Amino acid sequence: LPRGGLLPMTWPALRSLRRIVVTGALCSRGIEACQLLFVSGRSSTIDDVIFNSLGAAIGGIMFFAPRAA
């Protein structure tokens, strides 16, 4: 959620909901890949990537909501 709200504040090029979700998904995928490769005893699931992407989408919607009103 914070990533979706902070990305467009920090980088104006990411002021698109689609770009926010894609960036959130790629970051989450990278984190899960690192956990799978470097942290023993940690399992990596697609659910984590999906829910982190959903959180980025909700954060992006919350960023754009006051501007739409």
Residues with Cβ < 8 Å from 30, sequence gap 6 or more?
none
| Structure confidence at residue 69 (pLDDT) | 62
* Sign (positive or negative) of CA dihedral 47, 26, 44, 63: negative
How does the average pLDDT of the chain come out, rounded? Answer: 86
Per-residue model confidence as pLDDT tens digits over 51-60: 999 999 999 8
Q: What secondary structure does DSSP assign to 25-52, as a single string?
A: HHHHHHHHHHHHHH-TT----HHHHHHH
Eight-state DSSP code of residue 13? G
